[in-house]
Structure 1
Amino acid sequence: DGNNTFFYTSKYHLIRFLNSRKKILVIGDTKKYIWDTPEYEVPPLENNVFFIATRQTITYNQTQSTCPTALADKSFCNDQNKTLCKTDEPTSSTFGFFTGNCVPSKENEAIKVCEMNGWCPEELSDSIRNIQDDTDFKCRFDGTSKTSDRPLIPISYILDRLNTNKTALLLEGGLIEIRQDWICNFDINPKKCTPKYDFSLLQSGDDKQSPGINYRFAQKYREDGVDYRTLTKVYGLRFVVS
């Protein structure tokens, strides 16, 4: 009921927000079944946090087998030099373990790379999903005093106020804080109690130490007694509202 709206005034101090990444490779003792990140980790569900996907990589028909590592792993070798292909050592992508063999790349057969044992084939193809800002909502906030009481903030408005490379942010993802400051004087006019918004970039798409935000999930199925999965890696914008 619009006539019975209560405003809660409080101060928020964001001391630190940590976004942790975990890449762990686990091998079963009996059947050498490999568990990588999509096997045991799902995106966390948190209060006052939401995620908008901007890009995804899909790898179809993966199965537990051996295959060439991706060129992006830079595990190059030749028949005379297999020093990078140490048997049972984890790959640089942590998607599997080296078999010790040097084989032609699936992406370019003229280049030889280390062979891996894991979920094959490894991630190779990209599929880009653009954020469309064309929804016809009438209550959009645009930063002016006339729209200060409107609840819908376009994503483009937020991105325009971040000092960052927007192309890298949309490609690799990022972590953004939306801070609401409620400074209200109910003795004057409760209707003029509207929040002031501030936007901060906590993790960018071109961060040198840990760029972007992404997570993986797998859809599994079985065919003729063989386990397969479709692996999806999703990049996007993670918003923390305080």
Structure 2
Amino acid sequence: MDMSTPFHTVIMGLRDFLKECFSGFWDYETPKVMVVKNRTLGVIYRAVQFLVITYFIWYVFISQKAYQDTETHPDSSIYTLMKGTAIHGDDILDTVEYASPSEGGDVISTLLRREFTYDQKQGTCAEYYNVQNANCTKDTDCIEGEVDFDGHGRRTGKCVQYYNQTFKTCEIQSWCPIEEHAVVREPPLVEAINFTVFIRNYIHFPKFKVLRGNIEDSLDRRRSKKYLNKCHYNEETDPYCPNFRLGYIASHARETFSELCRTGGVIGVFINWDCNLDLDPSYCKPTYSFRRLDVRKDDDNSGYYYRFAKYYSKNGMESRTLIKAYGIRLDIIVHGHCTIICDWIMLTFIDKNEVYSERKFDEVIKEPEDLIPTDLAHTELSYMGSFGSNHSDLSDGVPL
């Protein structure tokens, strides 16, 4: 048996296949659309179209807003500065005295009321009577070296008279006298209601390379400086003024300023940027809201205060004045959301001229045997009944 005959047949078949593929590669093919006047088929077709359109309009466009590209994690920079001068008794207080820090970032606090414990020295004195196990009648009630972390120091093992009182408490080694016994409370700084905090905020959307600020940049330098020195923020008249009165912040946080002077408090200043970059840049401006952040249900833990001391030397011994300061702490919190319409939707709605060939659309009302060749009518219409379209070769092509 000659093995070359099957091999020759395979080679020739492969050659014919490759030749046909190469020849067909250069052919131009375009779909031929035929319109069928059939009520049942038309109802089904329009129902499917309606479902698809409803899906895109309701879910994609309205619910998911897929036609927009968004960015919700912008970069933000905050600079704060407290302004104002107050007369408190015989003292003149400026920002160094009542603001901490006098200029800073996203957190700044202002002092509203102070409590002083003067002339404290390292030594021994009676523990505060409200500290657990501090009350005693004899020395054995006090354990030497014991430290109560809710107290003021280390116990010496002695039971001593509580200052000028008739009862006794355990003696401690600490800064004496203790704060609860010798504290001097001064009146609140009521003038602080007119203090202003300057908040400068820049926000950057790196995805779209957009930078915005809460200070209007259309003014020249001289006019801008003059405006910023005298303006106060108002949502309607001065939306680009970054100066906020403490009284304005407290009232919009639904807080009483006199109560804040008594206990202090933490207030959040929320800066929200909701920008549509398809509109004019003037529409991309921040909105502000204010809310009390610390818990007010627990009086012992609510409010805001901190302690610091001023040290000095008296008669060769180190001494200090302990100051407990109540105030308002402002936490500046920035949220940003940026949207821009997608390129594909813009390209979709660009005006363009479409050129269609009349030969691409045939209207079929019935199957007249005298107008369509028998073999073509049977083949194409049966294919239409199954799939709804047909492809055929057009030797002269169709301009697109």
Match status 1:198 vs 2:289: yes
Q: Which has the higher contact order (CA 8 A, sep 6+)?
A: 1
The residue type equivalent to 1:99 in the other structure is T
Assess if the C-alpha contact under 8 Å between 2:194 and 2:245 holds in 1. no
Residues 18-97 of structure 1: pairs in structure 2 closer than 5 A: 47-71=105-129, 73=131, 77-79=135-137, 83=141, 85-91=142-148, 93-97=150-154
Residue 188 of structure 2: aligned partner = 129
CA pair 72-57 structure 1, distance change in 2 beyond 3 A: farther
CA pair 49-230 structure 1, distance change in 2 beyond 3 A: same
Number of aligned residue pairs: 202
Match status 1:114 vs 2:170: yes
Assess if the C-alpha contact under 8 Å between 1:52 and 1:238 holds in 2. yes
How far is 1:167 from its partner? 5.3
Higher helix share: 2
Assess if the C-alpha contact under 8 Å between 1:54 and 1:128 holds in 2. no
Structure 1 unaligned regions, length at least 5: 1-8, 14-42
2:237 is paired with a residue whose SS is helix
CA pair 180-135 structure 1, distance change in 2 beyond 3 A: closer
299, 317, 322: which one pairs with 1:226? Answer: 317
Assess if the C-alpha contact under 8 Å between 1:170 and 1:205 holds in 2. no
How far is 1:241 from its partner? 0.8
CA RMSD of aligned residues (A): 3.5
CA pair 222-233 structure 1, distance change in 2 beyond 3 A: same
Q: In 2, Cα distance between the equivalents of 1:186 and 1:164? A: 36
1:149 is paired with a residue whose SS is coil
Q: In 2, Cα distance between the equivalents of 1:229 and 1:10? A: 53
Assess if the C-alpha contact under 8 Å between 2:128 and 2:134 holds in 1. no
Residue 141 of structure 1: aligned partner = 233
The residue type equivalent to 1:90 in the other structure is V
151, 158, 167: which one pairs with 2:242? Answer: 151
2:135 is paired with a residue whose SS is coil
* Identical aligned residues as a percent: 29
Say which one has the larger Rg.
Answer: 2
Q: In 2, Cα distance between the equivalents of 1:149 and 1:174? A: 27
Q: In 2, Cα distance between the equivalents of 1:96 and 1:10? A: 54
Residue 102 of structure 1: aligned partner = 159
2:242 is paired with a residue whose SS is coil
CA pair 75-131 structure 1, distance change in 2 beyond 3 A: farther
CA pair 74-156 structure 1, distance change in 2 beyond 3 A: farther
How far is 1:238 from its partner? 1.4
Residue 215 of structure 1: aligned partner = 306
What TM-score does the superposition give when structure 2 sets the normalisation length? 0.43
